[in-house]
Amino acid sequence: MGRGAAAAAGRMALKRRVGIIFGGKSGEHEVSLQSAKSVYEALDREKYEPLLIGVDKAGVWHLGADASFILNVSNPKLIALNASAPAVVPVEAPGSALSLKDPESGLVRQSVDVFFPLMHGTFGEDGSLQGLLRLLNAPFVGASVLGSSVGMDKDVMKRLLREAGLPVPEFRVVRSPGDDLAAAVRDLGLPLFVKPCNLGSSVGITKVKRLEEVAPAVERALRFDRKAILEQGIAGREIEVAVLGNEEPRASVCGEIVPRHEFYSYEAKYIDEDGALLKIPAEIPAWQSDKIRDLAVAAFRALECEGMGRVDFFLKPDGGALVNEINTLPGFTRISMYPKLWEASGLPYPKLLDRLIELALERHAREGALLRSAEF
């Protein structure tokens, strides 16, 4: 190696290689591509060497060469992965880094220092991907297996929040359309919301105003999941808070979502460009915002989250706030709520990425130091 090449290698070694994993089999594939593109562009090239690892809709991992890996980037409806990029499989490598290998030849294509999962919804946000990365001993951004899976299951999530003394809407869980729905309606009143327990993006959710609409809504939700949750309908504003940290999580300023539809439905989120308005910061009194921010941190802790999480609330006209849910892998484009909340709190997008990567490495080091068996 010549002197120039050695110097270049030295420089490279200081940079962390960040594997952005995105796409995936969930209904949020396209949104994920947009999140990945934003992170790829914003990562500081002085510190990082970003890699694009796109998972196609069949679940195959592909390694992109550069930003051209994501096709039709400016069109949210046509955005897609270039599937001709080589397929890779992740394998454990000596040390803590992980390698991406060609599944055919077995040749190493790249090593990765830290992963940035940006795969929303099923498999990416529910602990599955996190479990794979843990097995391979790779550091990764965001909640680990437990926080991810708990955050994904609206039933378990709400039981844990309630157990921690945090306010949540009244709810009932049903596993079959034959369950006693009338009793649930009697307890919860109308309107109520029926949702699959493990999904996102408002898919499979129905706002029910009349008794006879409950059974069809439950049947619909049970097509997406084995559990459906029925929740008391809360008339209130939708307030969201971004939380960041591991042992000492911090909350951003509050933001407000103002849906222009009956509720913040799939259409309002992704189809209708003017489906919802984001107000940052939310126009609420300081005492209320302080209370909601404290609740957000408490929810983050109660749900065993790490790294990041967006906690969503209903703010009732009487001033009471109820936790609706946590999103452990919230939308992450530059114009998404989570990064915008941090920007409004004094942490610009590239610095937020730095912090998340630091938190991932800290957690990995901490877990690596734990004893795995009895010591004599």
Residues at the contact surface with ligand ADP, assessed by CB under 6 A: 169, 193, 195, 200-202, 205, 231-234, 238, 259, 263-264, 312, 324-325
Of 31 and 51, CB closest to ligand ADP: 31
Of 144 and 324, CB closest to ligand ADP: 324
Q: Minimal distance in Å, beta carbon 312 to ligand ADP?
A: 6
Measured distance between the N- and C-terminal CA atoms of the chain, rounded to whole angstroms: 47
Q: Minimal distance in Å, beta carbon 205 to ligand ADP?
A: 5
Q: What b-and-e string marks burial along 155-167, b requiring 16 or more CB atoms within 10 Å of the CB?
A: bbbbebbeeeebe
Q: Minimal distance in Å, beta carbon 238 to ligand ADP?
A: 6
Of 295 and 347, CB closest to ligand ADP: 295
Q: What is the 3-state secondary structure (H, E, C) of 197-262?
A: CCCCCCCCCEEECCHHHHHHHHHHHHHHCCCEEEEECCCCEEEEEEEEECCCCEEEEEEEEEECCC
Q: Minimal distance in Å, beta carbon 73 to ligand ADP?
A: 25
Q: Minimal distance in Å, beta carbon 202 to ligand ADP?
A: 4
Query: What single-letter amino acid sits at 126?
Result: D
Of 249 and 331, CB closest to ligand ADP: 331
Of 112 and 326, CB closest to ligand ADP: 326
Of 70 and 341, CB closest to ligand ADP: 341
Q: Minimal distance in Å, beta carbon 27 to ligand ADP?
A: 10
Beta strands in the chain (DSSP E): 16-23, 48-55, 61-64, 70-71, 80-81, 89-92, 98-101, 108-112, 114-117, 171-174, 192-196, 206-208, 228-232, 237-245, 250-259, 276-279, 307-315, 321-327
Joined together, the tokens standing for residue 241 give: 């808070």
